[in-house]
Structure 1
Amino acid sequence: MNEFSRDRYVAHGLVRQGESYLFLRRRDGRYLGGLWDVPGGTVEPGETPAEAAVRECWEEAGLRTTVGDEVTHFENADTNGRDLTFHTITYRLHLADRSPEVRLSAEEHDDFRWLTLTEALDLPLVWHVARTLGGEQR
């Protein structure tokens, strides 16, 4: 990714265990605090979005994963009026361990749940997760 690009990339991962997926609650007082999200974050220079999704899952939940298919790719303008386009990309992430143990990044999240897609739709979700799950239900 070019540092002078007018595009910013954020990558996320849908982590599945059986019929359930991992959801993380964003800590109050932080951006989108109190809402439920999936592991993810900003793509760093020299990193692909797929690599970022795997890295963020490790940093935020302590889970080792491998990347699968791209699920969604949303584009939106910067909400602060800057001349930027944000790309929010979600991938399927496959667990590398059979018995994973979630270890939250306490700075960013204060709770986690393994839920079915239907159960997750009852939570207050970050916008891109709600849109992604709507597509996954079909």
Structure 2
Amino acid sequence: MTERPIPAALAVVIRESHFLLVRRNNRPDKGLWGFPGGKIERGETVMEAAIRELREETGIEAEARDTLTSVDVIIRGKNGELQHHYVLVAVLCDYLGGEPLAADDVSEAEWFEYEEILATPEDKSPAVGRVAQQAMVRHKA
């Protein structure tokens, strides 16, 4: 556990009302579907991190458009002790090309219909539905 929260970026990519999600291999969301993303590296902007992580995890090419929101991921142990604290910055990205191919620390990468994301929250990381809703509003604007 680090002394401070760990900043990370999420790439929120929409293609024809479908969102790109990946199934995580590692904790804290192992086995759940979420947006591609990961830790922001030293000297890297949030936008650069979102695009790098997207490419590393899925092979998809996109252009970062705008930040959507932030998500706090705070995980506590059985006794209430802090185990992990991440601050995830969701970045809306414009799809440029490629077909998803799971790589790096994900086992699957697929396009999901917006309605499916909202209808099946049990196999998604927390806040995926909320972020997808915000992205749809921004994407249409």
State the TM bucket, normalised to the shorter chain. 0.7 to 0.9
Q: Which has the higher helix share?
A: 2
Q: Which residue pairs with 1:10 in the alignment?
A: 8
Contact 1:88 1:128 in 2 (8 A): no
1:48 Cα deviation from its structure 2 partner: 1.1
Give the CA deviation at 1:77. Answer: 5.0
Q: 1:137 to 1:52 in 2, by over 3 A?
A: closer
Q: How far off is 1:52 after superposition? A: 0.5
Distance 2:18 2:56 in 1: 20
Q: SS of 1:45's equivalent?
A: coil
Question: Shift in Å at residue 136 of structure 1?
Answer: 4.5
1:23 matched to 2:21? The reply is yes
Distance 1:63 1:137, change over 3 A: closer
TM-score using structure 2 length:
0.77
Aligned to 1:132: 131
Moved more, 123-132 or 51-60: 123-132
How far off its partner does 1:76 sit?
A: 5.3
How much is the aligned-residue C-alpha RMSD, in angstroms? 2.5
| Counterpart residue identity of residue 94, structure 1 | D
Uncovered stretches (5+) of structure 1, i.e. residues with no partner: none
Describe the shift of the 1:136–1:87 C-alpha distance in structure 2 as closer, same or farther (beyond 3 A).
Answer: same
- Give a deviation string over 1:30-88, Cα, whole Å, max 9, x none: 21221001110000000111110000000000111110121111345564527x86321
Could you tell me the TM-score, scaled by structure 1's length?
0.78
> Would you say 1:55 and 2:52 are equivalent positions?
yes
Instruction: List alignment gaps of at least 5 residues for structure 2.
Output: none
**Identity, % of aligned positions:** 25
Matched residues, number: 129
Distance 1:12 1:86 in 2: 12
